[in-house]
Structure 1
Amino acid sequence: MSSLKNVLNFQAGLGALVNMFLLVFYIFIILCHRPKPTDMISCQLAFIHIVLVLAGVDIWLWDIFESLDIDNDFKCKTTFYIHRVMRGLSVCVTCLLSVFQAVTISPSTSLLAKFKYKLKKYMICAFLFIWSFNLSFSSSQIFYAGAFTNVSENNQMKVTKFCSLFPMNYIIRVMILTMATSRDVFLVVVMLTTSAYMVIFLFRHQRQCKHLHCLSHPGSSPEKKATQTILLLVVFFVFMYLVDFIISSAAVLLWMYDPVNLSIQKFVMNVYPTITPLVQISSDSRVIDILKSLWSKCHKSFLKG
Structure 2
Amino acid sequence: SAHLLLFISPQVLTTCLFSSTKMNKNRLSSFIDIRNAFFSEVAIGILANTILLLFHAHNFLLEHRPKSTDLTIGHLALIHIVMLLTVAFMATDTFGSQKTWDDIQCKLVVHLYSSMRGLSICATCLLSVLRAITLSPRNSRLAKFKPHSSHHNLYCTLFLWVFNMFISGYFLVSTVATPSVTSAHLLHVTESCSLCPVIHFLRYVHFVLRTFQDVCLLGLMALSSGYMVTLLYRHKRQTQHLQSTKLSPKAPPEERATQTILLLMSFFVVMYFLDITVSWFSRKLWDIDSVHMCVQMLVGNGYASISPLVLISAEKRIIKVLKYIW
Query: TM-score normalized by structure 2?
Result: 0.78
| 2:286 pairs with 1:269 | no
Question: Where is the helix percentage greater, Structure 1 or Structure 2?
Answer: 1
User: Quick one: distance in 2 between partners of 1:119 and 1:60?
Assistant: 40
2:230 aligned partner, one-letter code: I
Equivalent residue number for residue 125 of structure 2 = 95
Q: What is aligned with 1:128? A: 158
1:140 aligned onto 2:170: yes
Sequence identity (%): 38
Residue 301 of structure 1 corresponds to none
Matched position secondary structure for 2:146: helix
One-letter amino acid of the counterpart of residue 169, structure 2: S
Partner residue in 1 for 2:141? 111
SS of residue in 2 equivalent to 1:222: helix
Distance 1:150 1:260 in 2: 28
Q: 1:176: Cα distance to partner?
A: 2.7
Quick one: distance in 1 between partners of 2:280 and 2:154?
A: 33
Alignment match, 1:190: 220
70-79 vs 90-99, greater mean Cα deviation: 70-79
Q: Report what 1:17 is aligned to.
A: 47
Q: 1:166 aligns with which of 193, 196, 218?
A: 196
Amino acid paired to 1:8: F
Amino acid at match of 2:207: L
- In the TM superposition, what are the counterparts of 1:1-305 in structure 2 within 5 Å? 1-34=31-64, 35-59=66-90, 72-117=102-147, 120-149=150-179, 153-168=183-198, 173-213=203-243, 221-248=252-279, 259-291=290-322
The CA RMSD measured in Å over matched residues stands at 3.2
Cα distance in 1 for partners of 2:104, 2:92 equals 12
CA 1:125–1:157 in structure 2 vs 1: closer, same or farther (change >3 Å)? same
Q: Higher relative contact order by CA 8 Å / sep ≥ 6: 1 or 2? A: 2
Query: Structure 1 residues 238-247 or 212-221, which shifts more?
Result: 212-221
CA distance in 2, matches of 1:216, 1:222: 16
Tell me if structure 2 keeps the 8 A contact 1:38–1:100. Answer: yes
Q: CA deviation at 1:33?
A: 2.5
Between the aligned partners of 1:117 and 1:150, the Cα distance in structure 2 is 50
* Contact 1:62–1:75 (8 Å) recurs in 2: no
Contact map agreement 2:91 2:190 (CA 8 A) in 1 = no
| 1:161 partner SS | coil
Q: Please report how far the alpha carbon of residue 60 of structure 1 lies from its aligned counterpart in structure 2 after TM superposition.
A: 6.4
Task: Give the conservation status (yes or no) of the 8 Å contact 1:150–1:156.
Answer: no
Is there any run of 5+ residues in structure 2 with no aligned partner, and where?
1-30
Gaps of 5+ in 1: 299-305
Q: Following the alignment from structure 1 to structure 2, what is the Cα–Cα distance between the partners of residues 232 and 108?
A: 25
**What is the distance in 2 between the residues matched to 1:75 and 1:231?**
38
**Count of residues in Structure 1 that have an aligned counterpart in Structure 2:** 290
8 Å contact 1:55–1:61 — kept in the other structure? no
2:82 and 2:252 mapped to 1: Cα distance?
33
For residues 240 and 88 of structure 2, what CA distance do their matches in structure 1 show? 50
Shift of 1:263: 2.2
